[in-house]
Every structure is written in C-alpha cells, then in structure tokens.
Structure 1
Amino acid sequence: MASEHTAIIWRGEPVSEPRFPPLVPQGWVLLRVDYARWCPIDDAVTAGLLPIESGTVMGCSGTGTVLELGVDADTSLAGRRAALIRIDEDYAPPLQGDGFLSRYVAVPTTHIAEIDEIDPVSTFLLDASLACSTARRLDYADHVLVIGCGSFGLFTSIILADNGYNVVVHTSSPDTQRLARRLGLETVDRVDNRRYDAIVAASLNVHKVEQALSASRPSMVVLHPVYAFYGWPACRKCWSLETFIPMGGEAGCARKLLERLRQVVEENIAVVEGLSPPPGIGGPILGYVFRL
C-alpha cells in the first residue's frame, strides 16, 4: 500500500493536507490519480452554496491507473487506465464520496471507463457522457435553450447542434459567448420570449433557470446533476414539467465527443502542477486541471 500523500480537503475551506490511501470497498477499485479537475461544483462548495462534509476530498472528476481491486470488482480493469464516466445519488464526488484531488482515491467500478490515454482532456469524460445522455433523451426536440456554457453546457450544445437541433446558448460571460460563437453556436445574454421545446439547465444559477422556464414554457427541462442533491436550492418551476437529470455512462459516445472537442478543451483549461487550492476569482473558461 502506498504511503501518506497530499490532497485538497474541505475543512470549511479547501486546504492541502496529508492523506493516507483509502480502503477499497467491495466492487470498487483504488485509482492512482494522474489528473483531476476542479469544477463549478467545487466553486459552489467553496462559496458556501453547497454543503459537503468536513474532511471530504475535493475534485469532481479525474483520471489515472487502477492499482488495486476490491472484492468482486471487475478484474478486467486491473492495471488499466480509467476515468470517471458516471455518477448517481450514491456516488457523485465531492457531493457524495471523496473527489479526485488526491493521489489515491477509491471509485466504484461501475462508474469508470477504460481510456486509451491519460491526459488532462480525459478528466472531461464525465461531462461528455452527461452531454451524450442528454442528447439521447432529447430525441424529439427541435428548439433547445442551453443555460450555461461550462463544459456540460458547451458539450451538450455541440452534440445537439451536430445532430441537427436548433440550439441557443444562454451565457452572460463575454469569453464564453466568444467561444460558443466561434464553434458556430447562437448565443443570448438574457432570457428572451422565444419558445423552446426543451431547456437544458447547465447553470447552477436557479434564478436564471426559473426565468427561462417562465418565459419559454418548454415541455421538458434537463437539469444539471447537482439539482438532484440535498442542499442545492430547488428549482420550483422545474418539477411541473417532464424533468430529466443525466447521470452519464455513455462511454462510446463520450469518447467520440471528447475527441472532437479535444483542441477546444486544451485551449480553455489551465493545467496546475501539484496540489494547492486554485484562486477563487477568474480563471480559464473550462477551469483547472491538476497534474498530481
């Protein structure tokens, strides 16, 4: 078993502190993490908007090598390179379970997928998978409004546009507007009165989501997975509609989508060496990826 290492831990604020490798439960594996993401969920925790337990390792996703198998774990994963591809209400780091900003983390075998290459881009496999799940569910829609242009919102917009949907991206950030337009997407910086068949709430701004629902009266809303967890403000208007919360798991589609967007991701992240909490203001459009 590996020795003590450094991790970014939640102690009322993110701090770097020593950590021993975790025990590996039945059906789980021990992953040696090479790259880990700091994402908007971590920002929401740091801002006091979303509670997690003290002592939780932060970092919403990551990639690395399977070092150890728990009892009944998938033996085909031994020694393989893998990345997080699925979450659910029982495991969604760092909301449920430790995140990936630690050299070693235990992960359910059902929630990771084998990858060809360990690199910063592969830490976005989960969001690509969430986008694929969303596109599959919206097979009947024509006009779709995507609120938010982080990785989940951007990936979802691209795959929907590729599939022939009429997509509008709502974002107030000039940087994300420019990026979306460069990729051929229509953007708006405020909610308008156009009618949409579906709204994808990729933003954690509940007020903006409810504004859009009131203005456009869609038949369906797709919610960012964080809305499934206790502690996040409820979207009161969402539950009167057909509601879908993607949890990922679409490995083949996610790999293809991520490869299509590889250059976009590489140009809009910052790779950080070592483990120190990132600055709280500003930063690249798609956030920070840590090299452990």
Structure 2
Amino acid sequence: MKAVQLVKFGEPAEALKFVDLPDPVPGPGDVVVKIEAAGVCGRDLVVRKGAFPHVKPPIVPGHEGVGRIVDVGPGVEKDTIGERVFLSGIYDGTCEYCKRGLENLCKNAELLGESRNGTYAEYVLVPAKFAHPFHGLDPRVAVVATCPLSTAVYALRHVDVEGKKVLVVGAGGTGIYIAQLAKIRGAEVYVSTRSPDKARVLKELGINTAPEGEKDFDIVVDTVGSPTLERSLKLAKRSGSVLVIGNVTGEKTLLSPALVILRQLKIIGSMAFRPWDIYEALDILKRGLVKPLYTEYKLQDAVRAHEDMERGAVIGRAILVP
C-alpha cells in the first residue's frame, strides 16, 4: 500500500516520506479499513517535531480517519465488510477513567499515528470495536467530526457559553469550529487571529474578530498553547474561565500564580474527545449547524499540507485523500 511515513523528527520535507508498505493483515478481532479521507491535526505537527518521547519512527502518522471496512480477522462478523466507519482512539475500557466515561483519559490508551500506524495511508489496521459505523455524510466532511469538531463538542461540555462573551484564541483547525459551535449555543463570540483570510471567513460565518484592546471575556478558549496562554489569562474577566485545549508548539511556558490568584481565574484543561462526541459532531454536520471547512490534498502531498498548516495557510482542516 501507499503511505506517508514519519522516518525521523524534523521539518516536513525531511521527516515525511511517501513510501510503499505491505498491506495490513487483520488478526483476531481486527478490521482493515480502506481510508477515504484522513485529517491532518495540529498534534501531528507536534509529533513530527519529536515532542512526544513515546513516538518512535518509522511510523505512519495520523489519528483522524474515515473509510470502509475491506477485510476482517477471526471473530469479526463478515457482514461488516463494506461499512463506512470513523476511527477513534483505542481504550482499554477497564481503567478507572474508562469506567467513569472518560475514555479520552484512559491510562492505557493507544493513539493511531503514535503507538501504531495511523491514517496517512491507503489502509489502516484497527481493533474492530474502534471502527465506528456511520452514514449520511461525504467522507471529506465526516473526517472533520473525527477530531476538530468533536474536540469542540467535548471542550464546550466544560463551560456554559449561553449568553456569555467568549473569546477563541486562534482560528486554526479546531478554533474555527469552537467559534461556530459556541455561536449556535448562544454565545457572543469573538476570535483572535492574525490571518486576514481567516478573519474574512469568520465574518462570512457571522463571527467577529476580536478588536484590539478588547478584554474582560467571560470565557477564553485557548487553542494555541504556550505562545498565547499568558495573554489569554489577562483577557479573561475577574472570576472568568480559561479553557485550554491547544498545544501547537509542544513547548512549556511560565505563568504568574499572582495572575491566576488575584483575578480568581478558573483554568480548565480539555483533552480531545470520546467516541460519542464524534457521533454528536456528525449529527451537527448532518443538520447543517456548522459549516465544514477543509482543504484537500492528495496523500502524496502530506509534506505540503504540513507546510501550509505551519504557515497558517489552511482554513479549517487539511485532509489527505489517498
């Protein structure tokens, strides 16, 4: 099969190679999924740079994927062949977090593209229970639900945005969906972005870019991380909330405890999503409540997709199509 492999950490052109790999063979309880669309997440860029010690090249990146089951292993019903599915993280289902419905915090989770080959490929091998059937959406639209929109769905479970003044810091692949979702949930939404193209798209969606000097937001959603986090804390009103979901550089940052204490801020982390958040995201897309925004690349153009994302040229999600 054709695939993009992370062969070393570094810049896109040296780290990502378009290669031929053996087709995966399903073992007991496995399925092989023919990928129809794979999303390129900001986390993929952080992985490529070597920020996560558990990732060991060579490996096929990518955790966002939609496709059809084309082969099954022993113990899997053959009538699932042909089903269109989305892929999720792989959870043990038995740890204390899984038992509480927090599979996204599973102690023994596996993430495609990090601990096993991922979705930047023609085919991917996964346990059958983590290939979830759905219907009614084009794969290129549905893949938007598999991370950016489902991340937004899960993140906004932590805060009540209705009637609140909300700032979304960053209009990348997740920020632009959080802004849309907060708006339909009754928030007065502003987005902080330096991109004129993204500001134009936001305006078309009826979402304001944050005016210079605007502050005292009830809720600030930081989708960037260390480069913007201290500023996000300063833009939240006293007793406001700062929801942190972004880590685009993988770098650490220093924060002043006094800033948090004297303003009595609530800092909330939000980690990815659960499979049923993806189903909610798919329903939102089916109902036309959120506009799917993406730029399509051929699988062999993964290097260009990474480069475009790093320079902020992608509006919404970059997706790879084998």
Deviation at residue 121 of structure 1 after TM alignment: 1.5
* Partner SS, residue 9 of structure 1: strand
Distance 1:187-1:289 versus aligned 2 partners, 3 A rule = same
Query: Aligned to 1:40, which of 39, 42, 61?
Result: 42
Residues 106-154 of structure 1 deviation map (CA, whole Å, 9 limit, x = unaligned): 2344544322245312211122222111223222662222111123211
1:178 matched residue in structure 2: 200
* Partner SS, residue 207 of structure 1: coil
Deviation at residue 46 of structure 1 after TM alignment: 4.2
Deviation at residue 223 of structure 1 after TM alignment: 3.0
Deviation at residue 210 of structure 1 after TM alignment: 2.4
Query: Aligned to 1:232, which of 226, 245, 250?
Result: 250
8 Å contact from structure 1 (residues 29, 69) kept in 2: yes
Distance 1:245-1:46 versus aligned 2 partners, 3 A rule = closer
Deviates more, 1:33-42 or 1:57-66: 33-42
Distance 1:115-1:177 versus aligned 2 partners, 3 A rule = same
2:4 matched residue in structure 1: 8
* Partner SS, residue 269 of structure 1: strand
Q: Which blocks of at least 5 consecutive residues in structure 1 are unaligned? A: none
* Partner SS, residue 63 of structure 1: strand
1:256 matched residue in structure 2: 283
TM-score by length of 1: 0.79
Distance 1:197 1:76 in 2: 50
Distance 1:175-1:96 versus aligned 2 partners, 3 A rule = farther
Q: Which residues of 2 match residues 204-223 of structure 1 at below 5 A?
A: 205-216=225-236, 219-223=240-244
1:290 matched residue in structure 2: 320
Deviation at residue 94 of structure 1 after TM alignment: 2.6
Deviation at residue 158 of structure 1 after TM alignment: 0.8
8 Å contact from structure 1 (residues 146, 169) kept in 2: yes
2:134 matched residue in structure 1: 115
Query: Over aligned residue pairs, what C-alpha RMSD do you find?
Result: 3.3
Distance 1:225 1:252 in 2: 22
Distance 1:33-1:235 versus aligned 2 partners, 3 A rule = same
Deviates more, 1:149-158 or 1:276-285: 276-285
Deviation at residue 76 of structure 1 after TM alignment: 7.6
* Partner SS, residue 151 of structure 2: helix
User: Are 1:247 and 2:273 an aligned pair?
Assistant: yes
User: Are 1:104 and 2:123 an aligned pair?
Assistant: yes
Query: Aligned to 2:87, which of 84, 88, 91?
Result: 84
TM-score by length of 2: 0.73
Deviation at residue 284 of structure 1 after TM alignment: 3.4
Deviation at residue 262 of structure 1 after TM alignment: 7.3
Distance 2:215 2:29 in 1: 48
2:156 matched residue in structure 1: 135
Distance 1:44-1:251 versus aligned 2 partners, 3 A rule = closer
Distance 1:85-1:196 versus aligned 2 partners, 3 A rule = farther
8 Å contact from structure 2 (residues 33, 69) kept in 1: yes
Deviation at residue 187 of structure 1 after TM alignment: 1.1
Q: Which blocks of at least 5 consecutive residues in structure 2 are unaligned? A: 9-14, 91-103
Distance 2:172 2:17 in 1: 25
